[in-house]
Amino acid sequence: MVRSVRIVGAGLIGTSIGLALAAKNIAVEMIDVDSRNQALAQDLTGGVSIAEPELIILATPLRALSQVINEQYELNPNSTFMDVCSVKVEPLQKVQASKLPLKQFVGTHPMAGREVGGAESARADLFLSRSWIITPDAQSDSEAVAKVKWLIQLLGATCVELDAVSHDAAVARVSHLPQITATLLAGSLHGVAPEWLDLAGAGLRDTTRIAASDENLWKEIISSNSQEVKALLTNLHNELGAMIDAVDDEERIAVIMRKGRDGRNLIPGKHGGKAREYTYVPIVIDDKPGQLGAIFNECAAMSVNVEDLVIEHSPGQLNALITLALSADDAVKLSNHLSSIGWNVHPIRK
Amino acid sequence: MVRSVRIVGAGLIGTSIGLALAAKNIAVEMIDVDSRNQALAQDLTGGVSIAEPELIILATPLRALSQVINEQYELNPNSTFMDVCSVKVEPLQKVQASKLPLKQFVGTHPMAGREVGGAESARADLFLSRSWIITPDAQSDSEAVAKVKWLIQLLGATCVELDAVSHDAAVARVSHLPQITATLLAGSLHGVAPEWLDLAGAGLRDTTRIAASDENLWKEIISSNSQEVKALLTNLHNELGAMIDAVDDEERIAVIMRKGRDGRNLIPGKHGGKAREYTYVPIVIDDKPGQLGAIFNECAAMSVNVEDLVIEHSPGQLNALITLALSADDAVKLSNHLSSIGWNVHPIRK
């Protein structure tokens, strides 16, 4: 439905979109202020020059948006425009202040990304199975919205419609607050003795994983969404204060912890919608090539579907712990079969 | 070296130790105040009654420790005693206040566990490749310490020696602070619109995963370690206050985020010691049985070692994204090979 797309900004998101479109034989043009980024992105996407792109995707940092909007509108006043910023109110305000008529613009936000950035980290399948939010303004042309929805679905994402203000409030909750929390927790590790850090387990790793995020990207996001973020941080600040007051009181601690446990259960399962309940089959295998393949061959022979897998190595030991996640029935079937042919299968668990 | 062990407390840790010992043909007796827990644990471990156990492992909640110490010492005044509590100062104080002579006691803490608890979740390989801290007092008998170290190594864990005070400070940093942070973040999700929670990605999931922990276990840990925990929470409270002040200032935000990123890089890699740097090979496969097995067969044929694997499904789509982690050389070798035989391999990345 859209045959030609110009993408302005050859970062992770822009280039990934370019790769995905190229894989679907849509004509793509990649532009970037940095000529080396542009050259790489053009190479990766087989990018061409397009005089009259049907759609122009703005994939630049927030600070460049106003200038780029006006430049691009001057070049191609008939194109449909969309952005991919992580916030949606400020881009809309920038469009309102620009020459670009609102009817030709659709704000969007692909909920996808990686801790690494840049065109060199781009992936055509970055958006597969992810949510992609659109925040069309009342004035957005229905044709323009249709084009944008079409592209999103082409890239394998699920289109979610929100208004811009709700979007910024929502991502403050599910993305910005966790980011800041991870950042502050990781920041507290400076000066800790290395022998103590050696004791770090999954808990510390999980809670600080996203602290690896790019500060240049995030400084824009947080300051753009500062009102929402400030409100949430202030609530957290109060809750933290309450916890400090409660540290000597077991019953108060238990109430706070129970609240956290119940809160976590509100998060939907990995695939969205209802939480999936898997059954886990732990198997101790020799840590050498061939073992995993043999297990997966047995899975195929049994026609069971492995939903997830975790590998836990034993440093200095010649074995590893593999935990497969399957449906309850498949787990029983697989576990019985593998045990019967001599695999070191541990009791299945939820 | 130790031929008979009585374990008092048939929870996750106690029963897992029992299972591990039973697998090594050490005589095990499982005791629990709850007769059903005890029966289950005895069944699982093939437990027997032992009149004179060489080693008695105290695996009860902290609140039961004093009573159990005295009871057990009365029964078996010649045994060596060890505990497995998540804090080490308070158990030591309880022993000092009890009839049990310090020389017969060694404080320990296996850095292992799961969000689920109870004997029914026990695993013989729970301690494989984990750190197991011991905090022997100056008065602890060297024979007693040797027995405990022997057991730890038998169970596949790595023995780490610390004094009790340092232990409590260390776990406050790497375990208790992350726990509380996850709890508070998860607790903030109450009242959030379900459509917003549907947008939750890996960031929110990772940062709140351990909020599923058991409040009855953690209320004891936090209040026992309240002094250390309070200090860390107060620091975090201050940092959070600074972040609130900085939300409109991009440069200040960037400094805070950079500090978090650098802090995260201080955490050693998955296998302890130096951080491992893997190279990642993303492959899009059809989401059906046989595919994973076929890939792993190719890995074996190429003699490459797969260090880790992540599976990302596409709901409603018939494919999945598999990302294999290998050494840099293996990644190139495997990627080239798989591509050459027609697999949909995406560019390797760090």
Regarding whether A293 and A173 lie in a shared domain, the answer is no
Dist CA A201 CA B174 (whole Å)? 8
Of A145, A162, A179, the one marking the end of a domain is A162
* Bridge partner list, B284: B321, B344
pTM (2 decimals)? 0.83
Dist CA A205 CA B206 (whole Å)? 9
The mean per-residue pLDDT over the stretch B136-156 comes to 95
Structural domain total, chain B? 3
Plot region of A156 (φ>0 → left; ψ -120 to 50 → alpha; else → beta): left
Dist CA B239 CA B175 (whole Å)? 19
Of A110, A127, A162, the one marking the end of a domain is A162
Amino acid B275: pLDDT: 45
Amino acid A314: pLDDT: 42
Q: Is residue A164 exposed (0-12), middle (13-18) or buried (19+ Cβ within 10 Å)?
A: buried
Amino acid B274: pLDDT: 41
Contact A330, A305 (CB under 8 A): yes
How many angstroms away from the CA of B333 is the closest CA of chain A? 15
Secondary structure (H, E, C), B322-346: EEEEECHHHHHHHHHHHHHCCCEEC
Amino acid at A334: L
Beta strand spans in A129-215 (E): 131-135, 158-161
Amino acid B79: pLDDT: 98
Query: Hunting for tokens 């303004």 — which residue is that?
Result: A137
Query: Hunting for tokens 């492995």 — which residue is that?
Result: A306
Nearest to A300 by CA among A334, A331, A342, A346: A334
Contact A85, A109 (CB under 8 A): yes
Regarding whether A117 and A42 lie in a shared domain, the answer is yes
Burial pattern B292-303, b for ≥16 Cβ within 10 A else e, equals bbbbbbbbbeee
Contact B115, B51 (CB under 8 A): no
Regarding whether B54 and B123 lie in a shared domain, the answer is yes
CATH of the domain at B180: 1.10.3660.10
User: Which SS3 state, helix, strand or coil, does residue B295 take?
Assistant: helix
CB-CB under 8 Å, A218 with B233: no
Nearest to A173 by CA among B238, B295, B204: B204
Kindly calculate the radius of gyration of chain A based on its CA atoms and give it in whole angstroms.
24
CB atoms inside a 10 Å sphere around CB B328: 12
Residues 6+ apart with CB under 8 A from B159: B132, B134, B149, B152, B153
CATH of the domain at B314: 3.30.70.260
CB atoms inside a 10 Å sphere around CB B276: 15
CB-CB under 8 Å, A303 with B263: no
Nearest CB to B213 within list A206, A226, A257: A257
Of B162, B177, B196, the one marking the end of a domain is B162
What are the pLDDT digits (tens) for B221-246? 999 999 999 999 999 999 999 999 99
Regarding whether B339 and B214 lie in a shared domain, the answer is no
The mean per-residue pLDDT over the stretch B128-143 comes to 92
Q: Is residue A51 exposed (0-12), middle (13-18) or buried (19+ Cβ within 10 Å)?
A: exposed
Kindly calculate the radius of gyration of chain B based on its CA atoms and give it in whole angstroms.
24
Residues of B in contact with A218 (CB under 8 A): 253-254, 257
How many angstroms away from the CA of B107 is the closest CA of chain A? 17
Mean of per-residue pLDDT scores for chain B? 90
The mean per-residue pLDDT over the stretch B137-158 comes to 94
Residues of A in contact with B308 (CB under 8 A): 311
Regarding whether B201 and B256 lie in a shared domain, the answer is yes
Nearest CB to B203 within list A179, A233, A313: A179
Is A350 domain-assigned? no
- Give me the residues of chain A with pLDDT under 50, please: 271-275, 314-317
What are the pLDDT digits (tens) for B260-279? 999 999 998 654 434 457 89
Amino acid A307: pLDDT: 76
The mean per-residue pLDDT over the stretch B48-62 comes to 96
For B62, the domain range is 4-162
Contact B208, B192 (CB under 8 A): no
Residues 6+ apart with CB under 8 A from B340: none
Amino acid B282: pLDDT: 86
Mean of per-residue pLDDT scores for chain A? 90
CB-CB under 8 Å, A249 with B189: no
Regarding whether A149 and A9 lie in a shared domain, the answer is yes
Q: Which two tokens stand for residue A268?
A: 């939907």
Residues of A in contact with B255 (CB under 8 A): 215
Q: Which tops the pLDDT comparison, B62 or B306?
A: B62
Q: Which two tokens stand for residue A133?
A: 């939010």
Is B214 domain-assigned? yes
Regarding whether B80 and B158 lie in a shared domain, the answer is yes
